[in-house]
Structure 1
Amino acid sequence: MKHSRLVLVLPLMLAACGLHTEPPMALRLPATFEGAPVPSRPRVDLSRYWTYFDDPVLDQLVDQAVAQNFTLQAAKARITAAAAIGSAENAALLPSLDTAGGVGTEKLSPIGHALPGASPGQLTSFGTLESSWVLPLFGRFGATEKGAAAALDIAKAARQAAQVAVVAEIAEAYVDLRADQQEQRLLQAELGESNDIVSLVRIQAGVGVASDLDVARAQAHAEGLAFRLPGVQLAINTDISRITALEGQTAPDAKLMIAAPIPSAPKFIPDLVPVDLLRLRPQIIEAEAEVASDAATLGLATADLYPQFTLGGSLSIFMGSSVVDSLTGAKLPDKVTLLGGGTGVTIPLLDWGQRYETAKAAQANLAAGIEDYHEAVVDGVYAVDTALAEITASRVEVVTARREQISASRALNAAQILFGHGLTNLSDLLDAEQQRQQADMDNTDAAAAADTAAISFYEAVGGGAIILPKKSRPAPSKSAG
């Protein structure tokens, strides 16, 4: 019989040995990011990257969001839950001790057996202690600990990812707000200039120098600017509402109502290589923890293919009163203590492949998790590459837009002087004004795009401190690379 059981168990154990193998996770990474500007190699703490925009209002908004945002608070609670669940799972690996107490009376027959009817005495039970321990063998102990730690790491990485996303969204909304407020200010100033031109053209028309067509064209240009103002105000209100919601508030911060300049994008790029993402980007860290969790699940499923050994014991105390053995006339002991213990084994014999298929599924899930990890790494490298390319392009756009703005302003100034002396026509003046308006908007868009590119870069990296080796670490610098 023992031989036949061994024959049945042996295939499951051999199958378990074949299943519990983890595919390799290594992924070849490039030495550097494509198209990255030359870094200024400062020591930076990317976990508070928003402070490099040097905007106190933005700093305050982010700090408030980190403390109050509902998504982040929920993620923080999930970390506590994961830690508690992990402690509970680890505690389940230890021996258990249960106690039961109560008073139960048994009437005793003359021969000492519990039978109905009268008896010369009674036996009363007071309490029992029972202990059992399912031995965490065949990798169950390590798999359980590994799974608990992975679940906690997943929760922590998820919170970090949520915080990175919330901070990036607030920073982008804040940049949009300041850009929209600047656009509103520019439109209002340009509308004032256009109204001045309308007044001037009407005066010229009154003395026969300008025609009614000129008046109509000047008026249409001014009305076109006025038409854009409500849309810009709507964008401002939307930006403020977006920030307020991310703050976890129902009323907007009064400081947001006051227009302020667009914050300047950080001038430096930290020294960063793709391998740094493995410890900085929370999406990669979470994917790696998911792999560890899948490996733990496989370990538990594999352990289920092996026999389970159990150690158990019990301690029972009985108290007797006025109990006399009728055969001998001797009084039974007032107190009886029973102590027992033993081992047990549960052997998986035949379950029609259920446990093996469960382990096989866990093996496949582990392989899929590793591919998800590879994808997370590739996505991270792509996100940083894209953000760095955007930073390079935005720097060129900022310089070009500023030159365009200067040239357009000079052209408008010259056109206004010439038109005032009657040396150019209204079309040239309106064209010059439109070019200056477009240049102002291009300059605003370029400044906002530079900020957004920097935010995208820091979001792609994911936060965390980048500390350079001492031998290659120069003094911090804010000069452009």
Structure 2
Amino acid sequence: MRRPPPLFLAAALAAPIAGCTVGPDFARPQPPGALAYQPPGETVSPRAQLGRGPAQRWWTAFGSPELDALVDRALAHNATLEASNATLSASLNELRAVRGRRAPQIDANARIDQQQVNLAAFGFSGSNPLAPGGNPEFHLYSVGGGVSYDLDLFGGLRRQAEQSAALAESQQRQTEAAHLTIAGQVVGQVLTIAALRAQIATANALLADDQRNVVLTQKRRAGGEGTLVEVLNAQSQYAADRGDLPQLDQQLAEARHLLATLLGMDPAALPPTEIDLARLTLPAAIPVALPSELVHRRPDILQAEAELHAAAAAVGVATARLYPDITLGATLTQGAPAVDGLIRNAFRGYDLFAGLTAPIFHGGTLKAQRAAAIDRARASEARYRQTVLSAFGQVTDLLSAIGSDDRSIGNQQESVAVAQRSRQLSRRSFEVGNSGILQVLEAERLYQRASNGLVLARTRQFLNVARLYVATAGGWIETPGDASPKLPVPGSGSATK
């Protein structure tokens, strides 16, 4: 029997341990067993219904096609999202590059050499029968290629690929969070614009009342029933109320400018935004993900989980560096002094090799690097737990806020009704001469304050509902019947033991 070449002996010896992967196998953190967010005794809004959570296009729950169109435009043209998408694409390409290192590496080469031999360097001088005209020249044409393969005895490359996949998933979740944040910001700006428009409408209605008061006091004074003081009080109040409008107009302009930025357009190109609070629908039921479901939906939690996965894989990478590694390879070269000789077997050569690399002494560097990787994994685990707690705290706060908003709306509506009745009676009393203008002005102040309070309470209610959707929507998780585009998810993004 012929003795097998050393290359194949090395491969046979390495085969039993080639599948070994050192380092900890990542296990996805267990979801919390809590069935509620709020502690016993706290008021829970009947609007909040615990379940799987809202659908992806959660903003459609407000029943406004104009709002839907604005959010869709922002998701398509926002510059921040464009940068985030490009960064995600780069992460996925980097993942493919790392995975490619686990495959055999094949290279080809071609070379043309022209060489002149200096015969004097070898002791020849004078006339040379080999080169009567001087030093001889040679030409060499060669083509060939080689293949090498890292056996990855202890899974260092596998752990690197696992780490890169986890980092790509982390960027994926960060991109999902950016989409979710931009959608929430657009909804918030639209609600802010609607609230400012409602406040401006209330202020204009009050100015109309103020102007009527001025006309009425002037008529009473002309008829001998009023005084100049009453006229001046009415004019002073009209001037004071008119001074509030420029500030509201400025706030509205700034809100529109910010909305244009979110939509990825110049403020001058922003079309009119005529969305009113009265035209928005407040959802009667708000689906809220259970705590055990929330950890699998929120992008920031999933990002923290992916970073924990990457940190665990980094421990395996550092551990593999403590052990030997074997690389197998082969090269084939065809070289000839003339091009037509490249096809002849006589000019062919090959090389088979197996290389072993084993750490002997590095001054404790490799062990220190592994210890640092373990510490970073512990830090990632702590950040993950903190992210989960912060998310639960945010949802709990918003659930409490929605319950408070329901009560606040009822109180403000009652306050507006009482103030409106008081204003009507005060004006009627002034018209018949039973009271002065100051009572009318005070009644109108109370009515304006109550009306603005109702507008702000409704705006706060809509904003808190939108924030709760953002806090529990979970980014771009596909739901039945949802045909909107999805971001690409790395194939190995899910955690496995």
Q: Same fold (TM over 0.5)?
A: yes
Equivalent residue for 2:4? none
Residues 244-323 of structure 1 correspond to what in structure 2 (within 5 A)?
244-252=260-268, 255-258=271-274, 260-262=276-278, 263-319=280-336
Q: 1:371 to 1:44 in 2, by over 3 A?
A: closer
State which of 185, 201, 206 in structure 2 corresponds to 1:190. 206
Partner Cα separation in structure 1 for residue 191 and residue 169 of structure 2: 33
Secondary structure of 1:345's match?
strand
Equivalent residue for 2:69? 60
2:352 is the counterpart of 1:344: no
Equivalent residue for 2:411? 400
Partner Cα separation in structure 2 for residue 133 and residue 162 of structure 1: 40
Residues 162-181 of structure 1 correspond to what in structure 2 (within 5 A)?
162-181=178-197
Q: 1:466 to 1:448 in 2, by over 3 A?
A: farther
C-alpha displacement at 1:107, in angstroms? 8.6
CA offset digits 1:190-238 (Å, max 9, x no partner)? 1010111111112222333222222222222212210100000001101
| Structure 1 unaligned spans of 5+ | 1-16, 109-113, 322-332, 469-481
Q: 1:416 to 1:92 in 2, by over 3 A?
A: same
Partner Cα separation in structure 1 for residue 96 and residue 129 of structure 2: 53
C-alpha displacement at 1:28, in angstroms? 4.3
Residues 462-477 of structure 1 correspond to what in structure 2 (within 5 A)?
462-463=474-475
| Structure 2 unaligned spans of 5+ | 1-20, 339-343, 481-497
Partner Cα separation in structure 2 for residue 390 and residue 373 of structure 1: 26
2:34 is the counterpart of 1:30: yes
Partner Cα separation in structure 1 for residue 112 and residue 299 of structure 2: 58
C-alpha displacement at 1:253, in angstroms? 5.5
2:119 is the counterpart of 1:104: no
Secondary structure of 2:284's match?
coil
Secondary structure of 1:137's match?
coil
Partner Cα separation in structure 1 for residue 52 and residue 166 of structure 2: 31
Secondary structure of 1:131's match?
strand
Equivalent residue for 1:473? none
Equivalent residue for 1:375? 386
Segment drifting more, 209-218 vs 379-388: 209-218
Secondary structure of 1:314's match?
strand
Equivalent residue for 1:94? 103
What amino acid is the match of 2:100? A
Q: 1:95 to 1:391 in 2, by over 3 A?
A: same
Residues 233-252 of structure 1 correspond to what in structure 2 (within 5 A)?
233-252=249-268
How many equivalent residue pairs?
438
Tell me, yes or no, if the aligned pair for 2:23 and 2:317 is still in contact at 8 Å. Answer: no
C-alpha displacement at 1:22, in angstroms? 6.6
C-alpha displacement at 1:80, in angstroms? 1.1
Tell me, yes or no, if the aligned pair for 2:32 and 2:292 is still in contact at 8 Å. Answer: no
Partner Cα separation in structure 2 for residue 42 and residue 291 of structure 1: 27
Partner Cα separation in structure 1 for residue 424 and residue 79 of structure 2: 52
Partner Cα separation in structure 2 for residue 335 and residue 107 of structure 1: 24
Partner Cα separation in structure 1 for residue 255 and residue 190 of structure 2: 7
Tell me, yes or no, if the aligned pair for 2:162 and 2:313 is still in contact at 8 Å. Answer: yes
Partner Cα separation in structure 2 for residue 465 and residue 104 of structure 1: 60
2:225 is the counterpart of 1:221: no
C-alpha displacement at 1:399, in angstroms? 1.9
Segment drifting more, 157-166 vs 22-31: 22-31
2:429 is the counterpart of 1:418: yes
Percent identical pairs in the alignment equals 22
Tell me, yes or no, if the aligned pair for 2:54 and 2:287 is still in contact at 8 Å. Answer: no
Q: 1:259 to 1:41 in 2, by over 3 A?
A: closer
Equivalent residue for 2:7? none
Segment drifting more, 199-208 vs 217-226: 199-208
Partner Cα separation in structure 2 for residue 278 and residue 261 of structure 1: 33
Partner Cα separation in structure 2 for residue 457 and residue 391 of structure 1: 9
Partner Cα separation in structure 1 for residue 478 and residue 111 of structure 2: 64
Partner Cα separation in structure 1 for residue 269 and residue 402 of structure 2: 30
Tell me, yes or no, if the aligned pair for 1:45 and 1:464 is still in contact at 8 Å. Answer: no
Q: 1:382 to 1:466 in 2, by over 3 A?
A: farther
State which of 463, 471, 475 in structure 2 corresponds to 1:452. 463
Partner Cα separation in structure 1 for residue 404 and residue 384 of structure 2: 30
Partner Cα separation in structure 2 for residue 279 and residue 178 of structure 1: 34
Secondary structure of 2:356's match?
strand
C-alpha displacement at 1:401, in angstroms? 1.4
Secondary structure of 2:112's match?
strand
Segment drifting more, 280-289 vs 308-317: 308-317
Q: 1:251 to 1:459 in 2, by over 3 A?
A: same
Partner Cα separation in structure 2 for residue 42 and residue 359 of structure 1: 42
Partner Cα separation in structure 2 for residue 254 and residue 357 of structure 1: 57
What amino acid is the match of 2:37? F
State which of 43, 46, 58 in structure 1 corresponds to 2:55. 46
Q: 1:25 to 1:231 in 2, by over 3 A?
A: same
What amino acid is the match of 1:385? T
C-alpha displacement at 1:20, in angstroms? 4.7
What amino acid is the match of 2:180? V
Partner Cα separation in structure 2 for residue 183 and residue 123 of structure 1: 89
Partner Cα separation in structure 1 for residue 290 and residue 324 of structure 2: 48
Equivalent residue for 1:137? 153
C-alpha displacement at 1:87, in angstroms? 0.5
Segment drifting more, 268-277 vs 357-366: 268-277
Segment drifting more, 60-69 vs 398-407: 398-407
Partner Cα separation in structure 2 for residue 18 and residue 249 of structure 1: 52
Secondary structure of 1:32's match?
coil
Q: 1:258 to 1:269 in 2, by over 3 A?
A: closer
What amino acid is the match of 1:434? R
Partner Cα separation in structure 1 for residue 49 and residue 145 of structure 2: 69
Secondary structure of 2:244's match?
helix
C-alpha displacement at 1:119, in angstroms? 5.3
Q: 1:265 to 1:131 in 2, by over 3 A?
A: same
Tell me, yes or no, if the aligned pair for 2:31 and 2:292 is still in contact at 8 Å. Answer: no
Partner Cα separation in structure 1 for residue 409 and residue 269 of structure 2: 30
State which of 77, 88, 105 in structure 2 corresponds to 1:79. 88
